């Protein structure tokens, strides 16, 4: 059991390096690899914390964790309940079940709230915005610079069109379309749910802020390939400078549509989704990244990040899959034993396994031609 407990516990170790990862310089050059690493860390931490409690809970039932989980499931199905578990083991079981339910509940709740807020935004856009065929976007009336996307719809304000040059406007549109095509709202959803579930957990706050910045960088990379670094950087500066005092929308950008959601929900300022400009600190990093020259990120660092992500996921995945494979193997063995019937005193064997030789009847392999010749 100690080995399985260590395997589950090691998945929580990277949480201590979350701040160092968020401030690392290489993530600006390899935002996609860094995003995968953050996703792996969050997944491994959640599954590892749940698995750690399960390992501790089934300790008295077997010497190995997979056999212990099989024995625990077997006694539950047999109606024996929690027999054999002491108070400490019951507390570990309650920890795992409660943590799993808490995380799953917040993911569902965050998803429902996000969908509701997106529907509200789409309704308000349909009421007050006009679709511009020239820009393939919905245009809001108002002088404040606005640029964001909601459920695949790119939204601009009249002030944005008047403020930016034609090239800068196209760069902004390309940025927002990258958010829409990449479904960055879905990528951000688990981190928003984690922040809502554990608002005081430092990892949850750091991860949400870091992932927001990485999604912005990914959208920047998509826009800069077509419109260039200087044009995109100029658009970012133009958008953020006059909008510093504007309200924050549920999509994270400044807008004339105020948010109407409770604090902590995905539609509130405390839990923004990707938008063109949402936080001054992230905007500074984005502009510096563009003006300083992106250069070529180290492929070795990217490969190392992907390998580290795979290792992080493989640990808790092994802990989760091992009991299933063990149960399947034990059930197969039980089925094989049940298929070998016990012969009656009369010498008749019923339901015998085809590969098992009957004790009172010789197991002969007769060639078909020999059998026909004997007839």
Could you give the dihedral angle defined by the CA atoms of residues 323, 328, 332 and 338, in that order, rounded to the nearest 10 degrees? 80
Predicted local distance difference test score (pLDDT) of residue 73: 74
Take residue 52 and report the two structure tokens written for it: 């750690």
CB-based contact 281:153 (threshold 8 Å): no
pTM to 2 decimals? 0.75
- Would you say the C-alpha torsion 292, 220, 265, 253 has a positive or negative sign? positive
pLDDT of residue 254: 33
CB–CB of 268/259 below 8 Å?
A: yes
Kind and range of the H or E run holding 31: helix 31-57
Tell me if 210 sits within 8 A of 169, measured CB to CB: no
Q: What is the pLDDT of residues 343-354, one digit of tens each?
A: 445 545 454 444
Exposure class string for 318-339: b at 16+ Cβ within 10 A, else e: ebbebbeebbeeeeeeeeeeee
Q: Which residues of the chain have pLDDT under 70?
A: 1-9, 62-67, 70, 241-281, 293-298, 322-323, 325-375
292 C-beta neighbours (distance < 10 Å), count: 11
Nearest Cα neighbor of 249 from 209, 278, 208 is 278
The string of pLDDT tens digits covering residues 136-189 is 899 999 888 888 888 888 999 999 999 999 999 999 999 999 999 999 999 999
What DSSP line would sit under 280-346, residue for residue? HHHHHHHHHHHHT------HHHHHHHHHHHHHHHHHHHHHHHHHHHHHHHHHHHHHHHHHSPPPPTT
pLDDT value for 219: 93
Whether 257 contacts 124, CB under 8 Å? yes
Q: What are phi and psi of 28, to 5 degrees?
A: -75, -25
Is the distance from CB of 163 to CB of 291 less than 8 angstroms?
no
Beta pairing partners, 140? 157
């Amino acid at each position: 059991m100690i080995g399985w407990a260590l395997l589950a516990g090691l998945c929580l170790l990277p949480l201590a390096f979350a701040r160092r990862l968020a401030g690392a310089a290489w993530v600006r050059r390899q935002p996609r690899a860094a995003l995968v690493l953050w996703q792996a860390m969050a997944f491994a931490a959640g599954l590892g914390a749940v698995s750690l409690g399960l390992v501790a809970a089934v300790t008295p039932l077997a010497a190995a964790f997979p056999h212990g989980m099989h024995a625990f499931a077997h006694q539950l199905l047999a109606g024996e309940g929690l027999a054999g578990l002491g108070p400490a083991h019951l507390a570990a079981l309650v920890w795992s079940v409660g943590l799993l339910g808490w995380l799953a509940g917040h993911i569902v709740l965050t998803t429902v709230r996000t969908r509701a807020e997106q529907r509200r935004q789409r309704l308000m856009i349909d009421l007050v915005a006009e679709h511009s065929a020239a820009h393939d976007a919905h245009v809001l009336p108002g002088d404040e610079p606005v640029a964001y996307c909601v459920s695949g719809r790119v939204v601009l304000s009249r002030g944005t069109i008047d403020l930016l040059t034609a090239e800068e406007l196209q760069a902004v549109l390309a940025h927002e379309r990258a958010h829409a095509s990449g479904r960055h709202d879905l990528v951000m959803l688990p981190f928003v749910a984690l922040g809502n579930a554990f608002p005081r957990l430092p990892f949850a706050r750091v991860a949400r802020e870091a992932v927001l910045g990485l999604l912005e960088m990914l959208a920047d990379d998509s826009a800069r390939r077509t419109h260039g670094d200087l044009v995109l950087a100029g658009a970012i500066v133009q958008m953020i400078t006059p909008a510093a005092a504007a309200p924050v929308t549920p999509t994270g950008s400044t807008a004339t549509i105020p948010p109407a959601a409770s604090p902590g929900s995905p539609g509130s300022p405390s839990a923004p989704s990707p938008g063109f400009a949402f936080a001054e600190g992230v905007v500074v990093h984005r502009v510096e990244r563009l003006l300083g020259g992106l250069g070529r990120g180290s492929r070795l660092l990217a490969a190392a990040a992907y390998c580290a992500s795979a290792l992080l996921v493989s640990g808790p995945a092994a802990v989760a899959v091992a009991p299933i494979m063990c149960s399947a193997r034990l059930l197969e063995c039980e089925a094989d034993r049940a298929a070998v019937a016990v012969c009656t005193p009369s010498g008749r064997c019923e339901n015998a396994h085809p590969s098992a030789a009957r004790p009172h009847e010789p197991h002969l392999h007769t060639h078909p031609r020999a059998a026909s010749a004997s007839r």
